[in-house]
């Protein structure tokens, strides 16, 4: 299986993030991708390719153009106003406030276009995220070709980013961009299996009222885990999308047995859906020693996950890197998934 590596990822390098009202060292750091690259190289899975530029149009199929323009220029605006270092939002248009009018104030637009203060907007956030989406589109090219599969090594992650907001370390929703591009190239059914510890609220929201993309996720229960305000089991889609969304939340600290049972619950409706393409939002923050998450998967279980995805038997499979914060272990965990997949397919 070939890898597409977003070599511009390091342009997004936050030193700190807000946590419990304090700035703490950032978890989502460039070293994450460096470790995965080393592990993928050592595993000799095959060629490692650079992303091919597919332009802005495929991003605009998912994200509001005004949002993309904002992210593109936001850090320069922040500096021009005398801001130093990374930019953070501090005010949000919650219930009863209007979000249909774009304010002139930069601080207000930061809030309009975000969901949390835990996501530093850096000088290189746009560059890294733009090329991350290009990497996803290049991976899609491979998955739609003869090989039928690819792994996209990128950061920052994407699954929390909505059509017009950033958050949860995410700016551009790579899985959504790839899914929409696949439909635009003539596929009719795309499934997204999100195995990151955190619910992919952005991906779910983007496709919630549609039947052409089925979103299924196993994740930490939002009653206690980020992103808190989405990811409950009763969210099954709406309108034309009713029945095309499946959430399997699990309590923090759940056993591996419970996790694999939940995976089966998520895979069952996906199997009935019989997608032309399976996109895997591959977060490995389900790892037992992840510093911000609370499941218990380890090398053995990551291998079993890869095997199970292979046994699912989608005609095409695209793995996209999402979370995973036990920096030195991420590479080994990703390789375990990909190796399990390759063995079984
Ligand atoms: C992104 B992805 C920890 C607070 C948690 C948000 C977590 C985003 C996870 N300091 N902040 O789903 O792995
Ligand atoms: Zn996560």
What is the whole-number distance in angstroms between the Cα of residue 132 and the centre of ligand 2?
A: 17
Q: Whose CA is nearest to atom 1 of ligand 1?
A: 168
pLDDT of residue 190: 99
CA-CA distance, 249 to 266, in Å (whole number)? 10
CA-CA distance, 315 to 180, in Å (whole number)? 17
What is the whole-number distance in angstroms between the Cα of residue 322 and the centre of ligand 1?
A: 11
Answer yes or no: is 142 within a domain. yes
Residue 301 Cβ contacting ligand 1 at under 6 Å: no
pLDDT of residue 186: 98
CA-CA distance, 167 to 111, in Å (whole number)? 10
Range of the domain at 137: 3-64+126-344
What is the whole-number distance in angstroms between the Cα of residue 82 and the centre of ligand 2?
A: 33
pLDDT confidence bin for 44, thresholds 50/70/90? very high
Instruction: Name residue 277's beta-bridge partners.
Output: 190
pLDDT of residue 91: 98
pLDDT of residue 21: 87
**Global pTM?**
0.98
Number of domains in the chain: 1
Q: Whose CA is nearest to atom 4 of ligand 1?
A: 19
Ligand nearest to the CA of 175: 1
Q: Whose CA is nearest to atom 2 of ligand 1?
A: 323
Active site residue 160: yes
Mean pLDDT of the chain: 98
Name the residue among 154, 152, 172 with its Cα closest to residue 163: 172
Answer yes or no: is 111 within a domain. no
Give the pLDDT confidence of 298-337 residue by residue, as tens digits.
999 999 999 999 999 999 999 999 999 999 999 999 999 9
Instruction: Name residue 217's beta-bridge partners.
Output: 194, 247
Answer yes or no: is 81 within a domain. no
pLDDT of residue 206: 99
What is the whole-number distance in angstroms between the Cα of residue 88 and the centre of ligand 1?
A: 15
Give the pLDDT confidence of 194-224 residue by residue, as tens digits.
999 999 999 999 999 999 999 999 999 999 9
Residue 156 Cβ contacting ligand 1 at under 6 Å: no
pLDDT confidence bin for 20, thresholds 50/70/90? confident
Residue 226 Cβ contacting ligand 1 at under 6 Å: yes
DSSP 63: S
Catalytic residue among 9, 75, 159, 160: 160
Residue 292 Cβ contacting ligand 1 at under 6 Å: yes
Name the residue among 345, 232, 216 with its Cα closest to residue 270: 216
Answer yes or no: is 89 within a domain. no
DSSP count for the chain of H helices, then E strands: 10, 10
Candidate of 14, 18, 160 to mutate for ligand 1, largest count of ligand atoms within 8 Å of Cβ:
160
Q: Check if the beta carbon of residue 140 is closer than 8 Å to that of residue 24.
A: no
pLDDT of residue 130: 99
What is the whole-number distance in angstroms between the Cα of residue 273 and the centre of ligand 1?
A: 30
What percentage of the chain reaches a pLDDT higher than 70? 100
pLDDT of residue 219: 99
pLDDT confidence bin for 345, thresholds 50/70/90? confident
Answer yes or no: is 79 within a domain. no
Give the pLDDT confidence of 267-305 residue by residue, as tens digits.
999 999 999 999 999 999 999 999 999 999 999 999 999
Q: Whose CA is nearest to atom 12 of ligand 1?
A: 198
CA dihedral (312, 310, 296, 281) positive or negative: negative
Give the pLDDT confidence of 174-192 residue by residue, as tens digits.
999 999 999 999 999 999 9
Answer yes or no: is 160 within a domain. yes
Residue 285 Cβ contacting ligand 1 at under 6 Å: yes
Answer yes or no: is 101 within a domain. no
Residue 225 Cβ contacting ligand 1 at under 6 Å: no
pLDDT of residue 281: 99
* Farthest CA pair distance, the chain: 55
Query: Percentages helix, strand, coil for the chain, rounded to the nearest 5?
Result: 40, 15, 45
Give the pLDDT confidence of 46-67 residue by residue, as tens digits.
999 999 999 999 999 999 999 9
Q: Check if the beta carbon of residue 119 is closer than 8 Å to that of residue 169.
A: yes
Q: What is the CATH number of the domain that holds 36?
A: 3.40.800.20
Residue 155 Cβ contacting ligand 1 at under 6 Å: no
HSE value, Cβ hemisphere, 13 Å, CA-based, for 252: 11
For 91-111, what is the mean pLDDT? 98
Name the residue among 28, 234, 219 with its Cα closest to residue 118: 28
CA-CA distance, 149 to 32, in Å (whole number)? 23
ipTM reported for the complex, 2 dp: 0.97
Name the residue among 186, 82, 68 with its Cα closest to residue 129: 68
Answer yes or no: is 260 within a domain. yes
* pLDDT of residue 9 exceeding 90: yes
Residue 171 Cβ contacting ligand 1 at under 6 Å: no
Give me 318's structure tokens. 């695209």
């Amino acid at each position: 299986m070939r890898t597409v590596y977003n070599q511009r990822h390091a342009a997004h390098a936050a030193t700190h993030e807000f946590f419990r009202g304090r700035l703490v060292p950032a978890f989502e750091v460039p070293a994450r991708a460096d470790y995965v690259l080393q592990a993928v190289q050592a595993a000799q899975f095959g060629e490692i390719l650079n992303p091919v530029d597919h332009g802005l149009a495929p991003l605009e199929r998912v994200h509001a153009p005004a949002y993309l323009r904002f992210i593109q220029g936001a850090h320069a605006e922040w500096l021009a106003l005398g801001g130093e270092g990374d930019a953070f939002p501090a005010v949000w248009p919650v219930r009863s406030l209007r979000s249909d009018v774009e304010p002139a104030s930069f601080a207000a637009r930061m809030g309009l276009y975000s969901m949390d203060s835990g996501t530093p907007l850096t000088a290189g956030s746009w560059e890294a995220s733009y090329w991350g989406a290009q990497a996803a589109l290049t991976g899609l090219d491979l998955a739609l070709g003869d090989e039928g599969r690819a792994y996209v090594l990128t950061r920052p992650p994407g699954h929390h980013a909505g059509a017009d907001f950033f958050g949860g370390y995410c700016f551009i929703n790579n899985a959504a961009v790839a899914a929409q591009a696949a439909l635009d190239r003539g596929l009719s059914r795309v499934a997204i299996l999100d195995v990151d510890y955190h619910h992919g609220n952005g991906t779910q929201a983007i496709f919630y009222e549609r039947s052409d993309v089925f979103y299924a996720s196993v994740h930490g229960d939002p009653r206690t885990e980020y992103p808190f305000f989405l990811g409950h089991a009763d969210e099954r889609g709406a309108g034309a999308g009713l029945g095309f969304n499946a959430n399997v939340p699990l309590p923090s600290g759940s056993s591996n047995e419970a996790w694999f049972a939940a995976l089966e619950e998520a895979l069952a409706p996906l199997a009935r859906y019989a997608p032309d393409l399976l996109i895997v939002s591959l977060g490995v923050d389900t790892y037992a020693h992840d510093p911000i998450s609370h499941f218990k998967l380890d090398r053995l279980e990551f291998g079993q996950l890869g095997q199970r995805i292979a046994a699912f038997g989608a005609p095409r499979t695209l793995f996209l890197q999402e979370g995973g914060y036990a920096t030195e272990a991420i590479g080994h965990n990703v390789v375990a998934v990909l190796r399990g997949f390759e063995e079984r397919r």
